[in-house]
Amino acid sequence: PGLWQWSTDRIDQFWEAVWTFFDIDSATAYDSVLSDETMPGAQWFPGATVNYAEHALDNDLHDQDALVCIREDGRTETVSWDQLRRRVGALAASLRSVGVGRGDRVVGYLPPGQHAVIGLLAAASIGAIWSQCAQDFAAGAVIDRFGQLEPTVLIAADGYSYNGRSYDRRPEVDKVRAGLPTLTHTIVVDHHVEKAYADPAVLFWNDVITTEATLQFDKVPFEQPLWVLFSSGTTGLPKGIVHGHGGILLALLSLVGLHMDLREGDKLLWYTSTNWMMWNVVVSSLLTGTTAVIYDGSPTYPDTTTLWRLADEQKVTFLGTSPGHLQACARAGISPGTRFDLTALRTVGSTGSPLPASCY
């Protein structure tokens, strides 16, 4: 209670302590922690210049796994920290080459995987603003969201797999492109079907990430927009909620580094789609040097043991799921601790809705 009380009574002291504890790298000194407490309009750390992507990638890890990306069919791709830096730097250079800079919007129509991680970090590294939608959204729902942002570049997969089926999303990608008149370029991740675009405004993922480039970071003002997340369940168009580089750095470092106690050597598997804010939390686990284990598929395919099996195989230390999934496991009579080796697992997290007492 004392810590919580201090964090609410002296919010300036608390957040400065978080800044110091996590050694936030700012190119310029901040003038004060909180210059104006008026809401809306409070100004945090005025004068500071930071970059979220720099904090996610600037560590002493090299050949260790940064990402472990697993698909339903079992195909697994690991991305080391050095590989992640090279790919982020290459995509960032490609974005710059087509005119993307600070404040421009880059959007992703992507399933969970390395492409969504790299897209976010590349956009952030150059000061561009990121937003994303999952591929189960129809074109109209995507346009309702992205159209508000007037994006310059769209990164889109041409298909995805879920629950044992493959889905060709080229028709939806075409509709999204047609519905976003501000787009100058589209980068296509061609995982599932053959290349089908001859448009010079269409680039291909495997081409743009082979660019030889030095990874650079644009140090932006603390409140510079980093990403836009959209509300759900509201009337009218989805509401875009803007999050800044500095605020996200401090808030998510306190979440993943303190509340979740993630650190170098940990492995986080939190099942989520790219529509959900938990996806951004998964990416932010990189801030602590944690390996993000990303599953692209249904948590109940081929059966309800999938996430527990992956936790066993990958020696996951933190598993995140939902009440719905835990209830499905309970109904199926699954006893994960006896069926799988979960000795590496330190914590299980649940979010999305209240967790029934029976699931504990």
Strands 65-71 and 49-50 turn out to be unpaired
pLDDT for 271 equals 98
| DSSP bridge pairs for 221 | 49
Distance CA 217, CA 299 (A): 36
Helix (H, G, I), strand (E, B) or coil at 203: strand
Distance CA 57, CA 49 (A): 17
Distance CA 13, CA 17 (A): 6
pLDDT for 191 equals 65
Amino acid at 318: F
The dihedrals phi and psi of 236, each to the nearest 5 degrees, come to 75, -160
Contact status, residue 112 vs residue 272, Cβ threshold 8 Å: yes
Greatest Cα-to-Cα distance within the chain, rounded to the nearest angstrom? 62
The position carrying tokens 């195989």 is 313
Q: Which of 358, 349, 300 is nearest to 325 (CA)?
A: 300
Sign of CA dihedral 239, 137, 96, 115: positive
pLDDT for 232 equals 82
**What CATH superfamily classification does 2-32+45-298 receive?**
ANL, N-terminal domain (3.40.50.12780)
Q: Tens place of pLDDT for every residue, the chain, 360 residues?
A: 689 999 999 999 999 999 999 999 999 999 999 998 888 889 999 999 999 999 999 999 999 999 999 999 999 999 999 999 999 999 999 999 999 999 999 999 999 999 999 999 999 999 999 999 999 999 999 999 999 999 999 999 999 999 999 999 999 999 999 999 999 999 999 865 555 667 889 999 999 998 889 999 999 999 999 999 999 867 889 999 999 999 999 999 999 999 999 999 999 999 999 999 999 999 999 999 999 999 999 999 999 999 999 999 999 999 999 999 999 999 999 999 999 999 999 999 999 999 998 888
pLDDT for 100 equals 99
Strands 65-71 and 76-80 turn out to be antiparallel
DSSP 8-state assignment for residue 216: -
The domain ranges of the chain are 2-32+45-298
pLDDT for 112 equals 98
